[in-house]
Amino acid sequence: MDKPRLTGMLRIIEAADMKSTSISETYGNVKPILEKIAESLRIAKIDIFFHVRPDEYDMQGLEKHFETVFCPDCEPDEENAVAKVFEDVGNSAAEMKITPCKGVVWNADYRDYLSTFMKLLYILLSRANNIRRAEKAPYIDSLTGLSNNLGIEHYWSRIVNDRPMSGFAAVYINLRGFRLLNVRFGSVLADDIMKRYSHTLYKLLIMGDELIARLGGDNFFIIINKDKLESFIDNAKFVQMEVDTGERVRPVRLHAWIGVYPANDGDSLSTLVTRSSFAADQSKKRRVQVSYFEQSEMDDSVHEEMTSRIMPRALERGEFMPFYQPKVNLETGELYGCEALVRWFHRDRMISPGEFIPIAEKSGFITKIDLFMLDRVCADLREWIDNGIEPVCVSINYSQKDFYSETLISDTLAAIEKYGIDSKYIEIEITESSYIENSRALETFVAAMHEHGIKVSLDDFGTGYSSLNMFKYLDLDTIKLDKSLFDDFENHDSKSRLILHSISEMVNELHSVSIAEGIETEE
C-alpha cells in the first residue's frame, strides 16, 4: 500500500478515539477523514448497517444505520460499488457499501484498498461496542441480561434527579416453586426457563425511564410507569412456555408472587425495594398472587420482629412468670387444681398473651417459654411442699409447636426430676390442633407421660373443627370444655344442653374428667 493511503488509514485510527464507548461518536470522529478520502477517490456515498445481536448484555440488541453522501451532485454508480459483510467481532455484524460517482471506475488495487478500509472501520465500530459492553457488564445479570443490584443503583443515580417518582410503581416478583423446576429439568433447562421468563418481562416494558432487574435466584425488581402497571401484572403473574427435554416437549406454567408499592415523591430506592418485597411476602402468606403494600401490615411485621428479638433476653431476666388460675369442684366448692398461665411483664407493663404467644409460636420460641413455665411451676411446688403446704395438681400448657422438639419428653421429665416433684402434681395441657398437626408425636408423648404418672388433659375442646377420632388414640385424663359451648346455656337452648349432656356422657364413659371453662354463674 502506498504512503498516502497508509497515512489515511492511520488518520482514521487516530480520529476514532480508542476510548470511545459510543458507536455513533466513533463514526462521527472518523467522518472528516472519510470526506477527504471520498474527495480523492470520488466516492458518492457510503452506507453502513451495524448490528449488535441480542445477548446477555443487550436484551434488545442494537442497530445503527449510517448513510453519508459525499457528492450530492453526483449520480451514484451502484453497479460498481464495493460491498462487504462482516461478522467476526464479538456479537456484532455489519454490511457496508461504498459507491463511486457515475463514470468512476476503480481498479482492483483501489477496490482492495476500499475493502481494507471498510474492514478497519468495522473493527473500530466493533471496538467501541465491546468497550460499551465491558463497561456495562458490572451492571448486568450474567444469566438473564437484566440489571443486577449494581445496575439498580446505577439506574437510580441516573433517573432519580430527572423526574418525580409519584408516576411510578415498584414491583417485586418471586417465582413460585422455581426450585422444583431445577429438580425436574436440571439446572441447564431451568436456566433457560429463567432467561425466557426474563425476556418476557423485559418485553412488557421498557421505556428509558423504567427498570427491570434480577436480584438473584428467582426474584425480580421492577420500576414501571403506573399507567402500565395493571397490564404488566396481568401478563407477568402467569407465563406459559414449552420446554424441550430432548425426549419430549413439556408445558411449563410459571406462577409469580407479586408485591406492589405505588411510589411517592421523595421515596428512596431502599424504600421502594423494601416495601414492594414486603408486599410480595404478604402475597405468599395470603396465598394470593398480587398484594399491594399496606403500612399497617408492615408496622405489625416490625412489631412482631422486635418482639421475637427481645423474648430470649426477657426470659433470661425473669420477665415471664406463672399466674395460677384455680379449678373449683362445682359440687363441693373445693379447690380442685389450678392452671399455670404465662404472663410477661416488660418495662412496667404486662404484655397480653394474645399479643406475644402467636409471635412466639411462629418463631418457635414458645417451646422455651413452655419448658420455662414447667420449671417455674416445679420450683413453686417444691417451695410449697417444703413449707408444709399440700399443693394441688398444676397444669401447664404445651403449644402444638412443642411436639416438633425431639427432646420434649426428656426435657419435661428432667424438669420434674430436678425438683423431686411427685408426678401426681403435674398435668400437661394439649390442644386439638396439636393432634391434627402432629398426631404421631403427640401419641408418643401422651404414652410417655402416662408411663411416668403424669396426667394429660385436652384444652379448649369444642373450638374449631373438633374431631372425636382422636379419642380412639389418645388416653386423656381430663377434657376441658371450651366456654363457647356454654354461651347459649343460660338462654335454655335445648340443642346446646343436649350437646353438652352428650359430651359429658362420652367423657364419663372414657373414664376421663370434664372441666367447664368460663363458668361465672350458678346456672
* Closest C-alpha to 327, from 341, 345, 315: 341
- Report the distance separating Cα 350 and Cα 323, nearest Å: 12
Q: Which helix (H) or strand (E) holds 427?
A: strand 426-431
Task: Name the domain count of the chain.
Answer: 3
357-378 pLDDT per residue, tens: 999 998 999 999 999 999 999 9
138-180 pLDDT per residue, tens: 888 888 888 899 999 988 887 776 678 888 999 999 999 888 8
- Point out the domain boundary residue: 109, 138, 167: 138
Contact by Cβ (8 Å): 340, 396: yes
- Residue 7's CATH number: 3.30.450
410-457 pLDDT per residue, tens: 999 999 999 999 999 999 998 877 777 778 888 899 999 999 999 998
521 inside domain: no
- Residue 162's CATH number: 3.30.70.270
* Closest C-alpha to 200, from 245, 252, 165, 278: 252
Q: Say whether both 213 and 306 belong to one domain.
A: no
Return the SS3 of 307.
helix
90 inside domain: yes
**Mean pLDDT in residue range 127-138:** 82
237 inside domain: yes
Task: Characterise 508 by phi-psi region: left (phi > 0), alpha (psi -120 to 50), beta (else).
Answer: alpha
522 inside domain: no
**Host domain of residue 268:** 140-293
341-350, 390-399, 493-502: range with lowest mean pLDDT:
493-502
Q: Cβ atoms within 10 A of the Cβ of 151, count? A: 19
The tally of CA atoms less than 13 A away on the side-chain side of residue 359 is 19
Q: Say whether both 458 and 491 belong to one domain.
A: yes
- Residue 334's CATH number: 3.20.20.450
- Report the distance separating Cα 227 and Cα 21, nearest Å: 34
497 inside domain: yes
**Mean pLDDT in residue range 499-519:** 60
Give residue 499's pLDDT band: very low, low, confident or very high (50, 70, 90): low
- Report the distance separating Cα 523 and Cα 471, nearest Å: 29
Give residue 500's pLDDT band: very low, low, confident or very high (50, 70, 90): low
Q: Say whether both 413 and 498 belong to one domain.
A: yes
- Report the distance separating Cα 398 and Cα 360, nearest Å: 12
Q: Say whether both 197 and 269 belong to one domain.
A: yes
Q: What is the pLDDT of residue 4?
A: 45
